[in-house]
Chain A
Amino acid sequence: KAGVTQTPRYLIKTRGQQVTLSCSPISGHRSVSWYQQTPGQGLQFLFEYFSETQRNKGNFPGRFSGRQFSNSRSEMNVSTLELGDSALYLCASAVEAGAQETQYFGPGTRLLVL
């Protein structure tokens, strides 16, 4: 079974631009979560989607948004990029939403904002 895939793997943007990241979950998984990883803040939860609905949201500004499609693929968008948005963005999928499920992570998208 193919794992979680994320595209693109690397991205360079300039301040003020916007960016869209994509995540394809493991086949059969309906829950997708997004995380931001930086050296200073570590891994922080962004949001979780299940069956096309945002189930939960972390403490990030409204510039960070996401959505999930009917095939469970998810996209994350960051508008008006700031230097501090430079990070590794990870998505994870699970069979169902809920605390019983193991999260399977993708390789991440490394975003550099100049």
Chain B
Amino acid sequence: KQEVTQIPAALSVPEGENLVLNCSFTDSAIYNLQWFRQDPGKGLTSLLLIQSSQREQTSGRLNASLDKSSGRSTLYIAASQPGDSATYLCAVYPNDYKLSFGAGTTVTVRA
């Protein structure tokens, strides 16, 4: 059974600092990995999707890398802003087609 772990569970940084969020998964047989953002009490917003054949994806200040062989992905957020405060979740799409989520990293960016 695929297990997805996100470390740390919570992170607090001053505005302007770069954020590094980690995600690991136990089964490397995945189709893709997605990073989502969730604001309190709200649904999820897709940030980046990395196909299994890709090594990284970039969108604006966000960059996500994928290393399937080691079962790891990292989400980098450059020059963090208070508006980046949210919970960030990674999810992998494994062979059984059941999207598996990590517990998330809650980020607080202090002004």
Residues of A within 8 A of B (CB): 4, 33, 35, 42-45, 48, 55-56, 58, 88, 90, 92, 99-100, 102-108, 110
Please tell me which stretch of B10-18, B43-51, B72-80 contacts chain A, meaning at least 4 of its Cβ atoms lie within 8 angstroms of it.
B43-51
**CB proximity to A under 8 Å, residues B79-111:** 89, 91, 93, 96-104
B residues near A44, Cβ cutoff 8 Å: 101
Q: Size class of B's contact patch?
A: 20 to 34
Q: Tell me if B42 and A103 are in contact (CB < 8 A).
A: no
Residues of B within 8 A of A92 (CB): 44
Q: What are the 9 tightest A-B residue pairs by CB atom distance, in nearest-first order?
A: A99-B31, A43-B101, A105-B44, A105-B43, A107-B43, A45-B98, A99-B93, A42-B103, A56-B97
Contacts of A103 in B (CB 8 A): 34, 44, 46, 99
Contact (A102, B46) CB under 8 Å given A33-B99, A45-B100, A48-B97? yes
Cβ–Cβ contact A43 & B34, under 8 A: no
A90 touches B44 (CB 8 A): yes
Residues of A within 8 A of B28 (CB): none
In the bound complex, CA of A110 to CA of B43 (Å):
11
Contacts of B91 in A (CB 8 A): 43
CA–CA, A43 and B46, complex, Å: 15
> Does B63 lie at the interface of the complex (its beta carbon under 8 Å from any beta carbon of A)?
no
CA distance A58 to B45 in the complex (A): 22
